[in-house]
Chains A and B, each alone.
Chain A
Amino acid sequence: MLTERYLQIFVTLADEQHFGDAARVIGITQPPLSQGLRRLEAMVGAKLFERGLGRVELTPAGVALLPYARRALSAIDEFHDAAIAQDPDGPEIRLGLAPEVPASVGAAVAAACGEAVHGSRVTVTSAPTSSLVGQVSSGRLGLAVVLHPAVLDGLQAGPVTLLRSWALVPTSLHPDDGQPLPLRKLDGLPVAVRPRAEAPAARDLFLDTLGLHRPGGGTVVVTDDRAGLAMAAAGQAIVVTPDDSLQAAGVGRHRLIDDPLPVRLRLVWPQPRTPNALPPEVMAQLTEALAEP
């Protein structure tokens, strides 16, 4: 059966000419993208793209079918818009949250979304900053809370909100005395950091600042805060996080003197007239929700 997703894969791949880029724009991984394309080509009975090293190009059949796919997709979008207008449950607000956003802060922004637009339904997804920015640009998300600094080509963005960080330090390294610690002293264990590609500019700023204040000690890459906390509990890593709720036995919570590693967050949203864009006055309200978490 021909689905919206197949059309989306076709059109996005034609625009991006790159499997990885297209997958990122759609917000899926590469294997389902490749599989979707194969199924669509089987359905059409012709190859739509020539695959080269790292790049893809439309075949003549692809060129011929592309305008039809675009028209079909825009008709589906119109259908969605019309359906939302009929929907007794009200309009949908799609919110994206970067994984570094503490649970309570994400919850506050989501709650503010519900209050800002009467009768709306709020759906929330979590994804790395680099993926969220693409999803907001394409209009798949109405807004997102992302790490700053990030490349925000053409997006609207609110002010930078700074969240103070905690250092979660194994008690084997420092007693759980609640005392603020200088970052310089925390060189006995590596600091847990999430993968760089998720948000290169923000991650580099973190790593550069870490390197300035704490020349030794190194870092260890973890997939998420759960893994980081588990490594701290095992006495293997230090976690730097603004999240008040992360805790574990054998891990002490300390402020860092002068707060050299705050988490910087920004609300981003698409240009007006993009699908799923919210009115400017609503966005002004929501940037306040992030500013006063």
Chain B
Amino acid sequence: MSARIRATFDDAGARGWLHAVSLDHPDQTVALDPDVVVPIASVYKLPLLAAFCHLIDTQELNPREQVTLAPEDRIPGATGLSILQDPVTMSLRDLAVSMMTVSDNAAADALLNRVGVDRLAQLLQSFGLEHTRVRRGAAGNLSELRRRTGTSDVDAAFAVLADNDQTDPVGMYDAAGMSASSARDMTTLLASLWSGRLLSEEQTAFAQRLMQQQVFSQRLASGFPYDGVRVAGKTGTFGALRHEVGVVVMPGGDAYAVAVFAHAARGDYRLPRVDAAIGEAARLAVDQLR
């Protein structure tokens, strides 16, 4: 099976990593280099959400706390608060909604500031995630990107990554410098989130709902073109990286946690073949487990 999945990524012009596990039969798995640590881009928002919900359960954070974010304090991004022009006041839990459903960088950065990088690291350790590191928020990633590409603004920096006529800056995609995880760590997190072991009933439902409200359907969900199959996921996109991790629920209720990471050979902003390969690889894995 891993050879077929590998061939799917080869055909799309990408290197892929995958781990899939049946939530009802955790001994049944499909794997393609599942323990390799890969930079996870915006997938870091999922462990951040889990930590945030945990801190609500322990009453260290108040989900209704209002935060006001001025435009100059908000970091760049393609969606959400990042693209608005005026000051915004929202609750912490609504920041989480925007962070998860449309991968809002500004909302995620504000939430990471409230959770704290060190507190987050401790929580991830306690969740049993050995390979997962959230180094900095997107703000740190973007300044690192500008430094490595020798550019002064974010758009110019991404243009360097997207240019197929240039070589990627050295170390640009090294897991060591960025938020990183392994495919197996992500399915571990998803499995404990779905089992209800990780969070209270209320926070479990909240986290699952945000993933079900995921607006991007080009990746995992594209592999399951049936309204009866529900897909809850979180994507990650940065330069040539294309990821999604999530839970696929079959019409009968059987559920599978799937983590797919891909690093495309091409740097283009739009890589529909790689997005579709993520869905296809997930479909191959889930069909094997059914």
Measuring CB to CB, which residues of chain A are less than 8 angstroms from any residue of chain B? 16-18, 20-21, 54-55, 130, 148-153, 157-160, 162, 197, 200-202, 204-205, 262, 264, 266
- Is B13's CB under 8 angstroms from A21's CB? no
Q: Which of B3, B6, B14, B266 sits near A205, CB closer than 8 Å?
A: B266
- Chain A residues near B3 (CB-CB < 8 A): 16-18, 20-21, 54-55
> What are the nearest 5 A-B pairs in CB distance?
A201-B13, A18-B3, A201-B265, A149-B265, A200-B13
Binds A, one of B162-170, B198-206, B243-251: B162-170
Taking CB as reference atom, which chain B residue is nearest A160?
B167
- Is A160's CB under 8 angstroms from B266's CB? no
- Chain A residues near B1 (CB-CB < 8 A): 55
Q: Which of B12, B15, B164 sits near A148, CB closer than 8 Å?
A: B164
- Is A160's CB under 8 angstroms from B6's CB? no
Q: Does B4 contact A (CB under 8 A)?
A: yes
The B interface is mostly helix, strand or loop, or mixed, namely mixed
- Chain A residues near B268 (CB-CB < 8 A): 205
Within 8 A of A (CB), among B55-98: none
Besides A149-B267, A159-B167, 12 more A-B contacts (Cβ < 8 Å) are A54-B3, A54-B4, A55-B3, A151-B13, A151-B263, A160-B167, A162-B165, A200-B10, A200-B12, A201-B264, A201-B265, A201-B266
State how many angstroms separate the Cβ of B143 from the closest Cβ of chain A: 25
Q: Does B29 contact A (CB under 8 A)?
A: no
Q: Does B153 contact A (CB under 8 A)?
A: no
- Is B167's CB under 8 angstroms from A157's CB? yes
Q: Does B11 contact A (CB under 8 A)?
A: yes
- Chain B residues near A264 (CB-CB < 8 A): 164-165
Q: Which of B9, B11, B265 sits near A150, CB closer than 8 Å?
A: B265
- Is B167's CB under 8 angstroms from A151's CB? no
Q: Does B2 contact A (CB under 8 A)?
A: yes
CA–CA, A16 to B7, complex, Å?
12
Within 8 A of A (CB), among B1-36: 1-4, 6-7, 9-15
Count of interface residues, chain B, beta-carbon cutoff 8 Å = 24
Q: Does B230 contact A (CB under 8 A)?
A: no
Q: Which of A16, A149, A152, A197 sits near B266, CB closer than 8 Å?
A: A149
State how many angstroms separate the Cβ of A231 from the closest Cβ of chain B: 26
With contacts A149-B265, A200-B11 taken as known, whether A17 is within 8 angstroms of B165 at the C-beta atoms is: no
Q: Does B273 contact A (CB under 8 A)?
A: yes
Taking CB as reference atom, which chain A residue is nearest B270?
A208
CA–CA, A113 to B10, complex, Å?
30
- Is A151's CB under 8 angstroms from B273's CB? no
- Is B264's CB under 8 angstroms from A160's CB? no
CA–CA, A114 to B219, complex, Å?
48
- Chain B residues near A17 (CB-CB < 8 A): 2-3
State how many angstroms separate the Cβ of B15 from the closest Cβ of chain A: 5
A–B Cβ pairs within 8 angstroms, 26 of them: A17-B3, A21-B6, A55-B1, A148-B164, A149-B13, A149-B266, A150-B13, A151-B9, A151-B265, A152-B265, A153-B15, A158-B167, A159-B167, A160-B165, A160-B166, A162-B165, A197-B11, A200-B12, A201-B14, A201-B266, A204-B273, A205-B164, A262-B165, A264-B164, A264-B165, A266-B167
